[in-house]
Chain A
Amino acid sequence: MSLFSLLGAVEIGLIFALVALGVYISFRLLRFPDLTVDGSFPLGGAVCAVLISTGTNPWIATLAATAAGALAGMVTGWLNVKLKIMDLLASILMMIALYSVNLRIMGGPNIPLINDPTIFNMLQPESMEDYVFRPLLLLVIVIAAKLLLDWFFATERGLAIRATGSNARMARAQGVNTGGMILLGMAVSNGLVGLAGAMFVQTQGGSDISMGIGTIVIGLAAVIVGESILPSRKIIWATLAVVIGAIVYRFFIAAALNSDFIGLKAQDLNLVTAVLVTIALVIPQLKRKLSRKP
């Protein structure tokens, strides 16, 4: 694998680290199986691409994409909490609704961003190649997001969200408005995914309606791979594990697709993902079995 494709894998890995952090919040902390992600990722991309192509500052476009993702997450939470629709179904409804919303926002199936300003080419120093600078800036953003989440989930409000996911009845008895916490947690989760969508369109040259397909599987794969590399229930370790999981996962995908001797092609991506997730799920069971034998 060349340095170029290695850095490319790290770049995509870091973008999906943001998705994975979001998926970690919904699936693990809130225990809310949330497929909204497949819609909120392209939603963030669509909002960001439309705003940049109509001349808005890329930072504001990125912020707006994050807010749009958060709003989508809140609507899913609201469908579940207020309208009492089953969590998984509420998120599927939101996911397909967002497909139409995204087409409306973009006014077509895609928006290219070729010579438009992005947060990456705005900050890039003359002396540095773009394929080196992009992963660097993404690394800074991902670390900032990780630290911010570590702090947030140690606050009174964040602890209330974790308690809601862990034992909702107990949380209510302690005066936690669990419905409100689900809405807030889903907003934070999908806000991160919207941010990831904005990063994606600014690094990959534009937004496309199909860019969201399978986002949830990749996010979940990253969470599972990360948890099997670094198993811990402490938030600071778990968020680190999820970030590492996303990068390792993309690295393996790139390696698999780049090795000519295996004969895999780009269209095999989803099959490789399924196999990798299966392996990551089986490893902890094997470990347990082996450790039980003397």
Chain B
Amino acid sequence: MLSAQNLELTFNPGTPIETRALRGLSLEIPDGQFVTVIGSNGAGKSTFLNAVSGDQSVDKGSIHIADEDMTRRPVWDRAHRVARVFQDPMAGTCEDLSIEENMALAHCRGTSRGLSLAVKNEHRALYRERLATLGLGLENRLTDRIGLLSGGQRQAVSLLMAALQPSRILLLDEHTAALDPRTADFVLQLTARIVNESKLTTMMVTHSMRQALDVGERTVMLHQGQVVLDVSGEERSKMDVTDLLHMFEKVRGEKLADDALLLG
């Protein structure tokens, strides 16, 4: 499980462009839960995700994954617990390496890398089998450079790569945002299938309220670096986008009123 407690992070502190990205954010995700995270631009979604992955170190607070304190660890030292798919389809794979080499790289995530051959014959069958489930014909192109694939194909392979090794949390950072609507839909279906099959604990950041309610079992809304809405179960299943939008506006309105009071 993931446990983030009172995270605080300020960019450019003490300067005119100071931004308080996280303001005491706390969130717990139990094992096996699929959480979607929404919020407006600057709400702290990506910053929070980067804090969990280790790309950003927080000023205050703590991050535990499976009871392991990750707060001060670099990205590579969290990778045995954390799998990640980036927003940019080009970012999640190495374009100079072949499809099988990329998969082998992910297959070693969290293990010590030794001097045995990276792409093992006994693993090729596994890679081929997983790629075949995509229905894109990639199972016959194992030695092709991954740079030859389209963005959607690369994103699909990134998802397979994330599920090759067991992880305690899968982080999806608006991973369908850079794709055309049809491909985005395909990647989203694939996400739901993989998460379901492997019972992955997942946190998906999205800008689409529709997506946030369609997949997963719990939705969290961030605003000004804090969790302002947390719905799951029956309450969530009865919600539609207009309800969510309404709550979103209410939250922003109330916050504005708060600020107005403070300033007044």
Contact = CB atoms under 8 A, between A and B. Distances in A.
Interface in A152-197: 152, 154-160, 162-163, 166-167, 169-178
B76 A157 contact: no
A157 B96 contact: no
A155 B115 contact: yes
B24 interface: no
Interface size class of B (residues with CB under 8 A): 20 to 34
Given A156-B108, A175-B108, A176-B113, A170 B92 contact: yes
B113 A157 contact: yes
B114 A159 contact: no
A155 B106 CA distance: 14
B114 A156 contact: yes
A289 interface: no
Given A156-B108, A175-B76, A166 B118 contact: no
Contacts of B104: 156, 159
A270 B183 CA distance: 54
Nearest to B101: A159
Interface in B82-140: 82, 84, 86, 91-97, 101, 104-106, 108-111, 113-119
B94 A163 contact: yes
A162 B104 CA distance: 13
A157 B113 CA distance: 5
A176 B96 CA distance: 17
Contact of A172 (B75, B92, B96, B117): B75
- Interface on chain A toward B: helix, strand, loop, or mixed SS? helix
A288 interface: no
A167 B96 CA distance: 9
Contact of B76 (A152, A162, A177): A177
Contact of B80 (A162, A175, A178): A175
B79 interface: yes
B204 to A, nearest CB: 16
A174 B105 contact: yes
A14 B113 CA distance: 32
Contacts of B101: 159, 162
- Interface on chain B toward A: helix, strand, loop, or mixed SS? loop
A172 B108 CA distance: 12
A174 B97 CA distance: 14
A170 B91 CA distance: 6
A155 B94 contact: no
B53 interface: yes
Given A166-B95, A233-B96, A233-B145, A174 B108 contact: yes
Contacts of B253: none
A289 B82 CA distance: 46
A154 B145 CA distance: 15
A159 to B, nearest CB: 4
Nearest to A180: B76
Contacts of A163: 94, 97, 105
A159 B116 CA distance: 11
- Most chain A CB within 10 A, of B86, B96, B110, B113, is at B113
B74 interface: yes
A167 B93 CA distance: 8
Given A160-B108, A169-B55, 17 more contacts: A155-B116, A157-B113, A159-B97, A159-B105, A159-B113, A162-B94, A166-B96, A171-B94, A171-B105, A173-B75, A173-B84, A174-B106, A174-B109, A175-B76, A175-B111, A177-B76, A233-B96
Interface of A: 152, 154-160, 162-163, 166-167, 169-178, 233
- 9 pairs of A and B residues whose beta carbons are closest in the complex: A175-B79, A156-B113, A159-B118, A172-B75, A166-B94, A166-B96, A172-B76, A167-B94, A156-B118
30 contacts: A155-B113, A155-B115, A155-B118, A156-B104, A156-B116, A157-B113, A159-B97, A159-B104, A159-B105, A159-B113, A160-B105, A160-B108, A166-B94, A166-B95, A166-B96, A167-B93, A169-B86, A170-B86, A170-B94, A171-B76, A171-B105, A172-B76, A174-B106, A175-B79, A175-B80, A175-B109, A175-B111, A176-B76, A176-B79, A177-B76
